[in-house]
Structure 1
């Protein structure tokens, strides 16, 4: 956000309640896939949506957003009933969902401020996150805990904030949006979701016998005792979001040779951030650094045998490696080619190879050592989730998670569209990182670009 969360701002919460499916649902046990239950996905991920009171649709005109969303949630859980269950471990740490129908956690809250008081632009990091997404004691584990926590906070202006904490083993961004769309359709009075949810997690189980068919640098188990981020006290980390609009992207594109001029905005921007991040960390030139590109198999064509409605995790983290000295000293084009290489590895066979690796090597976590993981959420449709009050002012993750960043669509107050990427770094490195990014953009900028950027701070979304 553009301003600090005032000490006078308060959020008053009601006691947490469990929301169960509106109808009786099957009592059964379902297995997660071997992609779902890997160690790196056994986390809770916060997601935020900020809404204005924008001429509500006739279906919810004059209604309380808390009641509308609570009812929609209960109805949607009839079709997504595994979310109302609890996880437990089976043999060899295999995760199972006990579809008990216990429900998901829901919190009703009221704030003493309006949306406009949160600043000119709303984006991560959110200094008030703990107020807007309360961590109910004992609820933030993986096993035996609610799989979803939702807090709806009414604002004085008539708008509201929807905050979610989701268990990543249950779905990826596409699956979460599919569930939210089902809730959206329930608010419109539809009896069933237009997309029928499909479980079928066996489609992404290891083969029999399992066989690793690709090199997976992202899962190399290395000594992380000297890793920069792993050894940094969480209180010493700085968190900022960076905005890249057309001018910034154009300036970066000017660094590239002709053969790479048609590279995507994501490829160019992330190559810039990876290079600048590596320089800011001041690593030994011979240190191997990694970029892991979170890539969803759903985007890989019609031959992928996942049915429409599948809401489980369907992505991998293909990695590219380089020496820190080579990455920082070889120009942006070198980094762009590495980013492209990481993306290009993703295929159905690659994902099956990851599932096989999970079973053969004990479901390892992705490597922490000098790894920069980026998830491209620009196609996930978070910014289109509409419960009847219009599209959100902001819709997306609550920020960066350690070595993981997210690339999201964002519109500035002046109407400029671009992408927003939250970054988490040690405080001493963040200042160097900002200088490196500014320098790289300025070196590629034309005089017109520089003039435009001086009129509005399009690069850094400062807290």
Structure 2
């Protein structure tokens, strides 16, 4: 449960940011986002970082120049990413496409890849030094060359226009071009936002707890100053997973995924650690990807937002009952996962229109995104697989302690662990560690 060592003092020498425009002419038009895309909960920038070692086979090649040229070529089929967002009537977002470009910069840092240690989960050390704030739809932030010959590639997308799989689809296209793959990009992008537009008239057909405040008192987590919070990554390997599986009822034991077991454990332990009243409603909200589901009419190459924040809800007392058993939590999680259908997503789109595109609730809600299968580390510009690839930040601002990214790592023996960087008030973290230890101890 240890975090990586702090970085030594270092300097970053960064050039002036420039706009990279599509390499050839692109359509001049205005494209509306879907009513899933432009909810308040999507109106933020998601940042990722990829760390690469030196590759002797690339001697003499500047990664910044390679990525810059590939980016310009990839922006031709992905031209909306070079556009600009604009709000119209009803808080509706559209993209004005005129090849305006994305932000790009080059930098050098007097660090080596090894200085970052064995970083396994966000936040990436000193991430703010390797990304740039921008208002472009997509900002490919500094390509920072390291003194060992390695480099850091940062990227920043407005979440309104891409989700994690969509952003990865674009990055793969850039990588294919950078590596000289014939016929790149291999996946033809599809806008397709009409599939997630509200119906006429809008008619939400589900309760959508994710946008309604839960019953009960306040939430100390939302009022704790950041200086009183502590972040610790927790690793759930084969031993911990086996212990959690034994705490599942026999009817669910063999059908539970690692994600379901870990998130049930954390939801329960987190609720106990924060000391909610027994009658307080507590929620788990997790992202359910709509891609690959049979009833979803999602075209191949779609890179917009295609997921829902599904919700499991109960009282703190009921969640903590049972002396460490996970059956109640697991049953709620499985029910919430199965509830996400195309009709459910259309209902979300309807709600966005009639309710003014609200933000999902944060009160006594634990929000989880599993990025372990996103393929961040496989982003390869020709220098090989990334040493680290994933989100730059953990939950920040109002999301601090509320949201979590689940990722995976391997230890020296090749064993796979689920990694979860938990952030809680200092006193709650002490109890949380004891609760997790109790649930992951063999029974």
TM > 0.5? yes
Give the conservation status (yes or no) of the 8 Å contact 1:410–1:419: yes
Pairwise CA distance, 1:203: 1.2
Pairwise CA distance, 1:38: 0.3
Taking structure 2 as the reference length, the TM-score comes to 0.93
- The 2-side partners of 1:369 and 1:359 are apart by 23
Q: Kindly provide the CA deviation profile for residues 217-256 of structure 1, in whole angstroms up to 9, marking residues without a partner as x.
A: 1111469993223222233332232221211111111212
Q: What does residue range 14-163 of structure 1 map to in structure 2 within 5 Å?
A: 14-54=15-55, 56=57, 62-135=60-133, 139=134, 145-163=136-154
Equivalence for 1:311 = 303
Equivalence for 2:333 = 339
Equivalence for 1:279 = 272
The answer to whether 1:177 aligns with 2:171 is no
The answer to whether 1:201 aligns with 2:202 is no
Pairwise CA distance, 1:198: 0.5
Give the conservation status (yes or no) of the 8 Å contact 1:400–1:423: no
Gaps of 5+ in 2: none
Secondary structure, aligned partner of 2:285: strand
Secondary structure, aligned partner of 1:195: coil
- The 2-side partners of 1:225 and 1:41 are apart by 27
Q: Kindly provide the CA deviation profile for residues 351-401 of structure 1, in whole angstroms up to 9, marking residues without a partner as x.
A: 111111111211111111111111122222222211111111121112432
Change (3 A) 1:406 1:94: same
Equivalence for 1:328 = 320
Q: What does residue range 194-343 of structure 1 map to in structure 2 within 5 Å?
A: 194-221=186-213, 226-262=218-254, 263-301=256-294, 303-330=295-322, 331-343=325-337
Secondary structure, aligned partner of 1:171: coil
Give the conservation status (yes or no) of the 8 Å contact 1:224–1:230: no
- The 2-side partners of 1:310 and 1:420 are apart by 29
- The 1-side partners of 2:216 and 2:292 are apart by 33
Secondary structure, aligned partner of 1:249: helix
Q: Kindly provide the CA deviation profile for residues 304-326 of structure 1, in whole angstroms up to 9, marking residues without a partner as x.
A: 21110000000001101011111
Secondary structure, aligned partner of 1:150: coil
Q: Kindly provide the CA deviation profile for residues 193-231 of structure 1, in whole angstroms up to 9, marking residues without a partner as x.
A: 111110121111001122212221111146999322322
Change (3 A) 1:73 1:224: farther
Give the conservation status (yes or no) of the 8 Å contact 2:121–2:407: no
Give the conservation status (yes or no) of the 8 Å contact 1:120–1:413: no
Equivalence for 1:447 = none
Aligned residues: 432
Equivalence for 2:403 = 404
- The 1-side partners of 2:56 and 2:207 are apart by 53
Taking structure 1 as the reference length, the TM-score comes to 0.89
Larger mean CA deviation between 275-284 and 389-398 belongs to 389-398
Give the conservation status (yes or no) of the 8 Å contact 1:30–1:98: yes
- The 1-side partners of 2:158 and 2:347 are apart by 24
Give the conservation status (yes or no) of the 8 Å contact 1:86–1:147: no
Change (3 A) 1:352 1:55: farther
- The 2-side partners of 1:119 and 1:304 are apart by 42
Pairwise CA distance, 1:415: 2.7
Runs of 4+ off more than 4 Å: 221-225
- The 1-side partners of 2:425 and 2:77 are apart by 43
- The 2-side partners of 1:109 and 1:225 are apart by 49
Equivalence for 1:449 = none
